[in-house]
Amino acid sequence: MSTNRWYSQFMLLFGSIMTFFYLGIGLYFIFSNNLSQLDKFLRYLVGGTFVFYGSYRLYQTIIKIKEEFFSNKYDNED
């Protein structure tokens, strides 16, 4: 397995972890009672932005998973 493939798969794993981090932070901002000192509109705005970006990253990660694991990209390497 080439170094480039290891690096691509590691970055894919890291991207997946960050995707769930963004989604989790967004949902925390929206549904948490611990942030009651912040204006409700601001909480929803920031939380919605994180959820939107996390959803975008999830879509991009799914595309990259298909490319890395289910394509013939690395078949010609020894």
The string of DSSP codes covering the chain is: --HHHHHHHHHHHHHHHHHHHHHHHHHHHHH-STTTTS-HHHHHHHHHHHHHHHHHHHHHHHHHHHHHHSSSTTTT--
Q: What is the pLDDT of residue 76?
A: 65
Model pTM score: 0.80
Looking at residue 1, its pLDDT comes to: 53
Could you tell me what percent of the chain has a pLDDT over 90? 59
What is the model's pLDDT at position 3?
A: 75
- Tell me what the mean pLDDT of segment 33-62 comes to: 94
Q: Does position 74 have pLDDT exceeding 70, yes or no?
A: no
Per-residue confidence (pLDDT) for residue 75, from 0 to 100: 65
